[in-house]
Amino acid sequence: MELDGIQVYHDGDFVKYGDAKVGLLTHGLNYGTGCFEGIRGYWSPDHAEVYLFRLAEHYERLHLSAKLLLMDLKDDVATMCEATTKLIRLNEYRQDVYVRPIAFKAAEEIGVRLHNVKDDFAIIAIPHRSYFESGAGLRTAVSSWRRIDDNSAPARAKLTGVYVSSALAKSEAVMNGFDEAILLTADGHVAEGSAENIFVVRDGRVFTPPVTDAILEGITRKTVIELLREELGLEVAERSIDRSELYQSDEIFFSGTAVGVSPVIEVDRRPVGSGSPGKIATALADLYRDITLGKVAKYHHWLTPSHATKTDRLRKAKATV
């Protein structure tokens, strides 16, 4: 796509993508010293609105990732949220969007460290394209690459450099003919996909790896746990999962901003359950889609409208008090 003309937010200003330059020696580019987010905006033709899903929570996570990198972000969560909705309006997006906020060590100098390096922050919003082409369930393989250990580089923070681990696993899986990889922890338990959390259903019980098993603490994961409890009456057990449980499960599904809720139909050439998307995953995927499109009033508080201006939103909030 043509990026040059789109408006981005960079270091406190709204500028053209082509004018927001970084140099070749930028610390974050050389050492992977950055952190980022992935946020989805869903276009609702019925409401003529782009709804940003759990916007503030993404920026809260970004601030936690930044803290780990000893960054001092100038913008607070509210300012980042406002900048994001403004970007959608400035670019006149009336379609699904993907928002990529990124904070990085911006000094153009040699020297690997975290302290005393200046930071930079940008938000880029682009039209969204579907993450997986396969709509009928994903074929996966357990990766030969292990998920990075918390004591090497924490997976719980969304750090740019750590994504080498995801990229190695994803390319291995795709080049071997699969849709996605499943990574194990250093001690051999199931962690997550290359960019998704994982859920396993066995005998009507739902499991997901605990946050201490080298996973990103996904916002969709949290959403799915709540929806399973509230809407399907299923309590999720957060416990370590063995590789062989994947082969004996009735259902497996991924959760993530990019993929929403996506059923897994095969692991290591073994069918999951009957080999087609399971009932729980399908019900969840439908519910999640309706929620993101603003069709479920109960979960409207997870959505930030971007075309309604701040004044409109305040007026609307007052009118409903």
Closest C-alpha to 218, from 61, 42, 56, 36: 61
CB-nearer residue toward ligand PMP: 86 or 221: 221
Indicate the DSSP class of residue 180. E
Q: How far apart are CA 226 and CA 87, in angstroms?
A: 30
Count of other CB atoms within 10 angstroms of residue 319: 7
213 touches ligand PMP (CB under 6 A)? no
49 touches ligand PMP (CB under 6 A)? no
216 touches ligand PMP (CB under 6 A)? yes
221 touches ligand PMP (CB under 6 A)? yes
Q: What is the dihedral angle through the alpha carbons of 171, 174, 177, 179, rounded to the nearest 10 degrees?
A: 150
Residues 177-206 within binding reach of ligand PMP (CB under 6 A): 192, 195-197
Count of other CB atoms within 10 angstroms of residue 153: 15
Q: Report, in Å, the least distance between residue 320 CB and ligand PMP.
A: 29
Q: How far apart are CA 320 and CA 306, in angstroms?
A: 19
Q: Report, in Å, the least distance between residue 65 CB and ligand PMP.
A: 11
- Whether 158 is a known active-site residue: answer yes
CB-nearer residue toward ligand PMP: 90 or 258: 258
- Contact (Cβ atoms closer than 8 angstroms) between residue 176 and residue 141: yes
- Give the per-residue contact string, 241-270, with ligand PMP (x = CB under 6 A; - = no): --------------xxx-------------
218 touches ligand PMP (CB under 6 A)? yes
* Catalytic member of 21, 158, 298, 310: 158
Q: Which of residues 65, 84, 85, 166 is near ligand PMP by CB under 6 A?
A: 166
161 touches ligand PMP (CB under 6 A)? no
Q: Report, in Å, the least distance between residue 178 CB and ligand PMP.
A: 17
Count of other CB atoms within 10 angstroms of residue 294: 18
CB-nearer residue toward ligand PMP: 38 or 127: 38
Q: How far apart are CA 112 and CA 32, in angstroms?
A: 10
Concatenating the DSSP letter of every residue in 88-110 gives HHHTT--S-EEEEEEEEE--BS-
| Total chain residues near ligand PMP (CB under 6 A) | 14
User: What is the binding site for ligand PMP (CB under 6 A)?
Assistant: 38, 166, 192, 195-197, 216, 218-221, 255-257
Give the catalytic positions in this structure.
158
